[in-house]
Structure 1
Amino acid sequence: MIRKLLLSLLAVAVLGLAIFAWQCHLKQEQVRKAEEEKETYESLNYYTGTFTIDDYSFLENGTGVAVHWKSENPEEDALVRKYATLPATSENPTHVTRGARNPNYIVRENIKLPSGPNYLDKKNEGNYYTLSIYHVKNQ
């Protein structure tokens, strides 16, 4: 009887130790992923995110258009706001819209780069430098 009790206690202790070790492993993985995420977004020098036109309105005199941009990846924008140390003039670098327009087109740069736009690391598929070009037709 005492032997069965000792074996049961030993089994419970081993099971408890295994559960504790598994929880430690999960916590360590969570910390590692958070550090990788932080390193990834802290290293960015350029970030505008990827946005599309959600809504627009032509100005009364027809010489311009007011555009509302919608983020295609708000989760990544939140991570950039959380970690990035971008050299920006605004407090929220993801709201900076880089681009140009003329009477016929709106052009927007979409950038996520750790260094200057003249160098795009092909190894890191998370980096991008693209242009969104919208043709402005009649009102």
Structure 2
Amino acid sequence: MNYKLNPDYNTIDWKKMDDIFAKVGWSVRQPEDIRASFEKSSYSVFIYDEAGEVVAFGRTVDDGKYYAQLADIVVDPDYQGEGVGSFIVETLVDQLQGYHFITLTAAPGKSDFYEAIGWKKQTSAYIWPLTDKQKRQHTEEN
């Protein structure tokens, strides 16, 4: 496998990325919306298999100095457990040297993964749930 940091977005198969989001059970997204979100990100990384197909990706959202958040850390289930997710997280964090806070919101059921690679659970993080599903999955008030 190989990777690209901040690649030319014209080379990305956005439909394939939409398929991977669906494969991991995340909400339905549109390829053009996925592209738009990545274009607004400071850093992105894409992992490719031997055939040159995207199999994993991640990105950052930040203010350029103080606050940065990792977002959309997604690995095709066929490639999970091979260190791909850890590599994405490490690669993105390496780009964020000098920031005061680096955070992420783990997908439901994935907190063990992040804790295993050194992330710590915040005691003061909050969410404004926009849907019942968000309230169910991301708050202690189920």
The bucket for the TM-score relative to the shorter chain is: under 0.3
TM-score, normalised with respect to structure 2: 0.22
Larger Rg over CA atoms: 1
Bigger RCO (CA 8 Å, 6+ sep): 1
* Structure ranking higher in strand proportion: 1
